[in-house]
């Protein structure tokens, strides 16, 4: 089974980091506003960064690591693979 660490953004580049074992379902939930809280309140639903691993513990640790970073480091991570902040969810 695969696990995914992902970063979502809105048009103002407010970002959210999460982890899931079903990225298509989870992004669909975010895009549909089915996830209450921060992402729904700020309309954060564009997938801008994604990592995949087979190890659930590694995914959770990576999510916590990224969440602990300063915003500038998170932005550098996103822009290292997605400089135009394209919605990667369009691929699936």
| CATH number, domain containing residue 16 | 3.40.1440.10
In the structure encoding, which two tokens stand for residue 3, read together? 């696990």
How far apart are alpha carbons 47 and 68 in whole angstroms? 19
Residue located via tokens 């915003």: 71
Contact 6, 17 (CB under 8 A): yes
The count of domains in the chain is 1
Instruction: Establish if 91 belongs to a structural domain.
Output: no
Any domain includes 92: no
pLDDT (tens digit, 9 = 90+) per residue, 16-29? 999 999 999 999 99
Q: What is the pLDDT of residues 48-92, one digit of tens each?
A: 999 999 999 999 999 999 999 999 999 999 999 999 999 999 977
Q: CA quadruple 14, 18, 24, 28: dihedral positive or negative?
A: negative
Helix or strand (DSSP H, E) at 63: helix 56-67
Local structure of residue 82 (DSSP, 8 states): -
The model's pTM: 0.96
Structural domain for 21, as ranges:
3-86
pLDDT at 30 over 90: yes
């Amino acid at each position: 089974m695969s696990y995914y660490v992902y970063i979502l953004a809105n048009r103002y580049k407010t970002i959210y980091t999460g982890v899931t074992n079903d990225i298509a379902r989870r992004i669909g939930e975010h895009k549909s506003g089915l996830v209450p809280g921060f992402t729904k309140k700020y309309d954060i639903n564009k997938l801008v960064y994604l990592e995949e691993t087979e190890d659930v513990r590694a995914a959770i640790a990576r999510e916590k690591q990224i969440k602990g970073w300063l915003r500038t480091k998170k932005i550098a991570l996103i822009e290292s693979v997605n400089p135009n902040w394209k919605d990667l969810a369009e691929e699936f």
